[in-house]
Chains A and B, each alone.
Chain A
C-alpha cells in the first residue's frame, strides 16, 4: 500500500510539484539563511581558527572577544611558561593602529605582533614573500585580500579630495606609516575572511610595541602549546590559578567571541527571523498543498476505506506520502542551497554549510512534512466510508 500511496502522490504531477516547491523553498531558505549565519559566526573567530598551533590562549580576564584584546604585563609570559604542562608559550600583540598609505590616505588597521624569534602566531599562508621576511628592517606583511581594496593606493584631487587617476594595489616595497613609524611591506598573506572590517597587518612583537605609544602593559595574548598528552582544560585551569589570567582552549576562545557577537548584536534575531520565515512560508505552502491534495483524493481514500483499508493503513499511506514529498523537497532545497554556496564561494558572502546545519534543516522539513500529514490525516480518519456511494 505504501507503493500505491507514492504512486498516488507522484501521479498528480501539478500537485506533487506544488508540494515539492513548498518544501524545497522552506529547505532552501532555512539552509541558506542558516549557512550565511553560521558563515558569519565562523568569521567572528577566524583569527583564532587561523592560529591552530596554539592549544591555549591566555589573556586578561576582562577580554570578551579576540578583537577586545586588553594588554597584560609582559611578566605574565614567564608565569605562564612556569606552569606545569606548558611546553612553550609565546607573546602576541594585537591592537588597532593608524595606517598612512604612500598617497597619504589614512586607514585604521589591526596590528598584530608575533614572537620575534619563532614567528609563531603568524598568518596561515603567504601569497608573496615569506614569513621570515619579517626579520627585515621595519618589515610588515599585509592582507593580500585587501591590497587592492582597503589598502589600494590612489591619488586625490587636491581641491575636492575625491579619488582621481588609476588605483593600484599596495605591493612589496611600499613604505607605509604605522602610528607615524616607518613600515615597509615585505609580503602579503592569505587568511580566512574576517567578520571585522579593518585590514590586518602582521609584524614582529618587538616592532609592534615600537609602533604604538609606550604603555606599561603591552602584551595582549600568550599563545601556549601544551606538552604532549596534556589535558587542555586542566592546563587552562592551572594557568588561571597560577597567573590570575584567563585561559581558553581554541574552541573555547572561538565560542567566547561568537557568544559575544550573538549577545551584543542583533545578528541572531535578524537571521532567526529569516529562518523562521522560511519555515513558516514553507510549512504553509507545503501544508496547504498537501492538504488540498488529500481533500481532492478524499473520494479515493473513502473507496479504500470501504474496500477494507483500516485507519492504520491509511495513516501509513499519508505519512509515506508526506515523508516522500519531504525527503525530495529537502534534497532539492539542500541542493539549491549548495549550488548557491558554490556560486558565492568567491564572493564576500559568508556561507558555511556543515552537517549540523543539514541535520537541523532535515529536522525542520520533517516537522513540516509530519505537520502537513497530521492536518490531512484527521480528515481521512474521520471520513465515513459511506461517501463512496455519493456521486
Chain B
C-alpha cells in the first residue's frame, strides 16, 4: 500500500502538476524572489550552480530528473550566470530517445549555443538523425534547433533532409522546413541558391499556413532581386484577393480579419515588386482599393493592414486615387486618440510627402500636437518627419525646435543623431551665415562632444575666411558678432572641448582649462596669434603674468607639441615687426600652403654644395637631417623667422615638407587686419598643408605656382561647396566652405517676411502659437487651420475586465480566511496535481478582446472589497478555474500531515485557495518586493 502510494506520488510528479517543477526549483525561485540585494541573489545562484554541477555529473541521477536540472540551468543562465559547464549535458540530452528529454535538450542547446560554438559539431549529427525520425515532433524539434545552430559549413550535412521535408505530409513540418531553408539562405545564400525554386513551389502549397510561411523567404529574395520575380505579381495579387474576399478557412481569421499577417506580408512584397513599375502596379490597384474599402479601423490589426497598404501605395507607381485613399486613412490615424495610431500616421505621412509634399499641410496642427506630446517615441518620429520635410523656408523653426529638444535628451546615442541632423540641416539650408554660426554655437554648447570634429573645423574656417563676397564690412561685422557670442559663452563653466577649440582659436582661455592638451595647444596658438598680430601692428606688447606663467609651464610640458608651441611663441616675441608679419600673415588662415616638392628653392644651395664637393645623392633619412640643420644656418633673416614657426611639428615627421611649407607661407601677403592666421589648420593634417593651391584669389599674386599633383582637393564638406555662389571661381569652391548661399539669404528672408505676415492674419487666440509654428513649418499657404478638439484623448478605455471581477467577487471572503490558517505548510509534492483541461466559466478569449490597454488591470483593483486582504478576490479569480485536479495517491500523505488537498474534487474555489496557499508556501506570494505578482496578466 505504502509503495502504491509512492508510485502515485511519482506519477503525480511525473505529470508535472502545479507549476510543473519540483520543490527545489520552487525554493530556488522563492529565495531569489526574496533576495534583498543583487549580491544575495548572486550568492544563491552560485550555490545553485554548484549544486547543479554536482548533480549533473552524478551518473546515478534519474533521467527524468535530468530534465529539471537542465531547466534550472537554463533558468540560472537566463539570470545572467555562467552555466557553461552544463552545455555538454544539454548536448548529451539531445541524444536521448525519450521525447521530453530530447526536446528539453534541444531547447537548452538552442539557448546555450550558437553556430560558432565548439559543441555544435556534436549536435549536427543528432539533428541529422532526428530529421529522419518517424515522429514528427522530433523532426520539428530538430528543425527548430537547425534554424539556430546550423552554420555555413554544416548546411550541406542537413540540407538534403530538409529539402525532403518540404513535402512532408504534416503541414507543421513543411512550414518549419521552409523556414529552416530560409534560415540557411540567410546564412549562406550560395549554398542554397540552387534550391530557391522550392520556395516558389511551396507558394502553391494547399495549406495556407505553409504558403504564408513561404512568403518570408520570398520577401527576402525579392528584396534582393525584384526583377526575376515580376512574374509572380499576378499570383500574389490573386492570393491577396482571395484572402480579402475571405476564401480562407475561418480558422485563419484573427479578430475577424482574414489572415492578417499573411496580408501584411503580401503587401510588403507587392510594395517591393511594384516600386517604379507601372505595369506591375496596375495589377495591384484594384485589390488595394478593396482593402481600403473593407478596412477596419476599429481593431489594431485592421489598422496594421491599412498602414501596410499606405506603405505599399507610397512605394508603387503612384495613382492619384490610391493616394487620396491613403491620405484619408493617414489623417484618420493622425486624428486618432491612440498614440500607436498617431505614430503610424506620422510614419505614413513621412512616406506620402515624398510623393506629394502638399499632403502635410492639411495635417500641420496634428503634427505639431505630436511634437508636444509627452510620448518620446512619437516625438522622435515627428522630428524624423520634420527632418524629411525641411526646406530653406522652414529650416530655422525646425532646427530651433530640434535644438530645444536636443538639450533635454539624456540618451547619448540619440543626442548624437539629432545633433548631426541639426548640423546637416543648418549646413544645407542656412538662410544666413549669422544664423548658421549661432545655430552651430548652440549645437556645440549642448552637444559639442558628440559632433563630428570636421564640423568644428568647418565653422572655424567659415569665421576666418568670411564668405567670399566682396563686402568686407559684412564679414568683419559677422566676425565681431561671433566674437561677442563666444565671449559670452566662455564665461560659462563647463564646455565641450571641441567647442573650446573654436573659441580658443579666437581667444586665449587656457588658464581656465588646464587639463586638456588639445585645448591648451589651441590656447597657446591663440596667444601666439594675438601677439603676432599686436607686434605686426607695431605695438609694444607686455606679457601678462598669466600668459607668462602658462608659457613657462608649457615650455616644460611633456607634450612636445605644447612645448614647441611655447618656444615658438617665445621666439616670436623676440622678433621685429617685419619678421612677424611674414611669419604670421594675418589674412592667410585659409590660404593653402604651397609646397615645393622638388625643393627648387634649395637648388642654389645644392649647387653650391656640389661645387664644394658634396656627394650628389644623400639617402633620404640623412638628407633631411643634413639639409635642415645646415639650412637654418644658411638662410637669411626671413628663413630664421621661419624657424620660429616650424610647421613640421604639426605634421607627421615628413622630412622634406617643412621647409617648403614655411617658404610658401612667407611668400603670402597681408592685406587684412583681422588676426586670423590659423595653425590649427596645419594641424588638421597633411591633407591640408599638402593640398593643391586652389587658386584663392590672393594666391595669384605670388605666382609661385608649384607642382603638387595627386593631392586630394577635399577641403570642406561637399554640401558646402555645392551651395557656394556660382560666381566664385572653381578654386574658391574648394577652399571656401563658408560661401553658403548668399542669394538664398535674401530670398528666404523675404519668404520669412511673408510668413510672418500670413501668420498675423490667421490669429486665432487659443492656438495662435501653434498656428504660427505650423505656418512657419508648412509654409504660408497653409492658412486654413483645421483645429481639432483635443478632448476625449483621455477618455478611459473601458475594458471588459469587469466580467472577470464579477466572478472573482462571487467567492466569499471568509472562506479564504478559514482555509488559509488551517492549512499547515503543504508539501509541494502533494500538490503536484495535473492541470487537466477544465472548461473555464468564462471564455478567456472573449474576455481578452478589448483588453489591449495596459491600464486594464486597474479596474480589478478598484473593485475589490476594501478588506485587509484586499488582494484575495484577484487571487481567486486567477485560480478559480485553474487547477482541476485528479491526482491519485498523493492526496492523503499522512506522514506530512497535509489534508488540504483532500478536497481536490471540490469546487474550483478550493483549488484557487490551494494554489494560493502553495504560493504563500513557496514564498512567491505578495512580498513587499512584488506585491501584485499574482495579478492575472490579462486583468
B is bound to A: no
A residues sitting closer than 8 Å to B (CB atoms) are: none
B residues sitting closer than 8 Å to A (CB atoms) are: none
